């Protein structure tokens, strides 16, 4: 008996999901294209296609795929929550908030939607609302959305001082003119300064100013002191416990010091500071 289009699509989707599990999003995308050739409007295919595109870093196309999946099956909460997270990464907070709300409406137990709601509220300055949504996401799925560890200002200052003490004295002398600032989260303007724009939750820190290699006596602007900014909430979100948070802070500080020295991302990756 010859399988019908829907049955063949289901088989292709099983293969595509396995490819994603195996870390091969390109194969998953190819399988989705085959499935869409059979049933162009299949919501499940568009959803898996969104996952594949997101894995490849193509967030705009991933958002469109999730949007198509959600419109094709509006009662499927995961389509909306995936759209919410992807549009949040694209700095479209209104769309992210709306998609998260729709996901929660369709399934109040969708932990990812509650987590995205916490992110949107945090970036909108609603700390209490963000904390409530974050607690709810953790309650629904504590393994996927654990409450992040925390460090006080004094602890961070001490950790930064300890990290600077292990650096060569000549480098410490250069760093005396570099302000090291602790902030909670990056603002959207900072995220948009990158090309492509950086996700609000991916930016752990940045160096602003002229690197040592860019300084020139003929350019007085290049002599202005630089600044290293560390984002506490994003560092905490990357860390399972306080020890990991301390290590993440140290690595991020050294990463930004590397930018101050004029190293690019490839140089830093070679040194294990990516």
Report the alpha-carbon angle 82-86-87, nearest 5: 115
Contact 246, 151 (CB under 8 A): yes
pLDDT (0 to 100) of residue 1: 38
pLDDT (0 to 100) of residue 237: 92
With a CB cutoff of 8 Å and minimum separation 6, the contacts of 249 are: 151, 156, 159, 160, 230, 235
Q: How far apart are CA 197 and CA 93, in angstroms?
A: 14
Q: Which residues of the chain have pLDDT under 50?
A: 1-3, 219-222, 273
Q: How far apart are CA 274 and CA 268, in angstroms?
A: 6
Q: How many residues does the chain have?
A: 274
Q: How far apart are CA 13 and CA 17, in angstroms?
A: 6
- Alpha carbon distances (Å) from 82 to 103, 114, 120, 269: 9, 12, 14, 29
CA 82 centroid distance within chain: 13
Q: How far apart are CA 225 and CA 239, in angstroms?
A: 31
Domains present along the chain, CATH in parentheses: 1-73 (1.25.40.10), 85-147 (1.25.40.10), 153-270 (3.30.2010.20)
pTM comes to 0.87
């Amino acid at each position: 008996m010859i399988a019908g289009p829907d049955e063949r699509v289901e088989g292709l989707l099983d293969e595509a999901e396995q490819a994603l599990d195996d870390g091969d999003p390109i194969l998953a995308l190819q399988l989705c294209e085959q499935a869409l050739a059979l049933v162009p409007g299949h919501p499940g295919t568009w959803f898996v296609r969104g996952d594949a595109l997101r894995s490849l870093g193509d967030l705009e196309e991933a958002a469109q795929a999730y949007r198509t999946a959600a419109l094709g099956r509006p009662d499927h909460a995961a389509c909306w929550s995936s759209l919410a997270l992807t549009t949040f990464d694209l700095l479209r907070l209104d769309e992210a908030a709306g998609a998260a709300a729709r996901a929660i409406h369709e399934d109040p137990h969708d932990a990812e939607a509650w987590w995205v709601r916490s992110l949107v509220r945090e970036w909108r300055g609603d700390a209490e609302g963000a904390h409530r949504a974050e607690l709810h996401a953790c309650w629904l799925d504590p393994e996927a959305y654990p409450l992040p560890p925390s460090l006080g200002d004094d602890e961070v200052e001490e950790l930064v001082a300890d990290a600077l003490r292990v650096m060569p004295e000549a480098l410490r002398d250069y760093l005396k003119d570099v302000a090291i600032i602790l902030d909670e989260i990056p603002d959207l303007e900072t995220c948009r300064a990158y090309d492509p724009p950086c996700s609000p939750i991916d930016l752990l820190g940045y160096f602003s100013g002229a690197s040592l290699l860019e300084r020139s006596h003929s350019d007085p602007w290049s002599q202005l002191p630089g600044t290293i900014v560390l984002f506490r909430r994003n560092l905490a979100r990357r860390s399972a416990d306080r020890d990991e948070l301390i290590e993440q802070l140290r690595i991020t500080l050294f990463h930004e010091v590397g930018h101050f020295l004029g190293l690019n991302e490839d140089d830093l990756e070679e040194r294990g500071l990516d």
